[in-house]
């Protein structure tokens, strides 16, 4: 009888440990992700965004050069991953304010997404020129030079300049990882590595 009770205790303990682990994992999942998104919530969010878009378009009918509305509408389209309409809004906004860093940076991001790297570089360069403390433009230019243009020396130069501006830690880590990747690639190909 004692052996059966022990076996039963083991099974019961195993069940409770498995239950405890399952509940713990589910709790961690809900804390990290916020839980599954209900279809109703997703549809409500989309409906809300569509309503905002209608309001922005109405405002633009009254004042087609309202920079704040153009940029906000462009950002809304970007958040919806509607690149085509975001691009159109940012081009209109650029006509109103040709040196606005936000506009130029978002245009650079759009060009980068669609593979027009020369146009992306030009937009990021203009954004950086209009606001020299706009470090993310330097970082984005460096990533294009290293990953799409094969100009590692130029990329390293921009990354060092970016890091000299004391960027936020997450962006600095990205830059440092890219520097390490470039140096590794340059060593592998036998090209000289700039040790700056």
The DSSP result for 26-55, as a single string, is HHHHHHHH-SPPPHHHHHHHHHHHHHHHHH
CATH of the domain at 177: 1.25.40
What does the longest C-alpha to C-alpha distance in the chain come to? Answer: 87
Q: What is residue 188's predicted lDDT score, i.e. its pLDDT?
A: 84
131 and 193 share a domain?
yes
Q: What is residue 121's predicted lDDT score, i.e. its pLDDT?
A: 97
Number of domains composing the chain: 2
129 and 92 share a domain?
no
Q: pLDDT tens, position by position, for the chain (196 residues)?
A: 455 557 777 766 766 666 666 666 666 766 666 666 555 556 666 788 888 999 999 999 999 999 999 999 999 999 889 999 999 999 999 999 999 999 999 999 999 999 999 999 999 999 999 999 889 999 999 999 999 999 999 999 999 999 999 899 999 999 999 999 999 988 887 765 444 4
Q: What is residue 189's predicted lDDT score, i.e. its pLDDT?
A: 77
Measured CA to CA, the distance from residue 109 to residue 107 in angstroms comes to 5
CATH of the domain at 85: 1.25.40.10
Q: What is residue 194's predicted lDDT score, i.e. its pLDDT?
A: 46
Q: What is residue 120's predicted lDDT score, i.e. its pLDDT?
A: 97
Within-domain flag for 53: yes
Within-domain flag for 11: no
Structural domain that includes position 52: 39-97
90 and 155 share a domain?
no
130 and 188 share a domain?
yes
70 and 137 share a domain?
no
Of 153, 159, 154, 152, residue with least CA distance to 173? 159
Q: What is residue 152's predicted lDDT score, i.e. its pLDDT?
A: 94
63 and 134 share a domain?
no
Q: What is residue 48's predicted lDDT score, i.e. its pLDDT?
A: 85
pTM higher than 0.85 = no
Q: What is residue 192's predicted lDDT score, i.e. its pLDDT?
A: 55
Within-domain flag for 1: no
Positive or negative: CA dihedral 38, 43, 47, 49:
positive
Report whether 146 contacts 157 (CB < 8 A): no
Q: What is residue 191's predicted lDDT score, i.e. its pLDDT?
A: 63
Within-domain flag for 22: no
Within-domain flag for 44: yes
Within-domain flag for 182: yes
Within-domain flag for 21: no
Give the total residue count for the chain. 196
């Amino acid at each position: 009888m004692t052996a059966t009770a022990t076996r039963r205790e083991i099974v019961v303990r195993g069940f409770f440990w498995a239950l405890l682990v399952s509940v713990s994992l589910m709790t961690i999942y809900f804390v990290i992700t916020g839980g599954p998104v209900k279809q109703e919530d997703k549809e409500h969010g989309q409906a809300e965004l569509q309503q905002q878009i209608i309001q922005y378009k109405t405002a633009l009918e009254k004042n087609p050069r309202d920079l704040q509305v153009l940029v906000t509408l462009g950002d809304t389209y970007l958040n919806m991953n509607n690149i085509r309409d975001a691009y159109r809004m940012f081009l209109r906004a650029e006509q109103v304010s040709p040196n606005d860093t936000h506009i130029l940076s978002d245009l650079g991001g759009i060009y980068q997404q669609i593979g027009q790297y020369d146009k992306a570089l030009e937009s990021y360069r203009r954004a950086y020129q209009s606001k020299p403390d706009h470090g993310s433009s330097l970082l984005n230019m460096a990533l294009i030079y290293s990953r799409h243009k094969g100009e590692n020396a130029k990329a390293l130069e921009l990354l060092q300049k970016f890091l000299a501006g004391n960027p936020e830690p997450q962006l600095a880590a990205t830059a440092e990882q890219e520097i390490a990747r470039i140096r590794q690639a340059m060593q592998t190909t036998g090209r000289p590595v700039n040790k700056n």
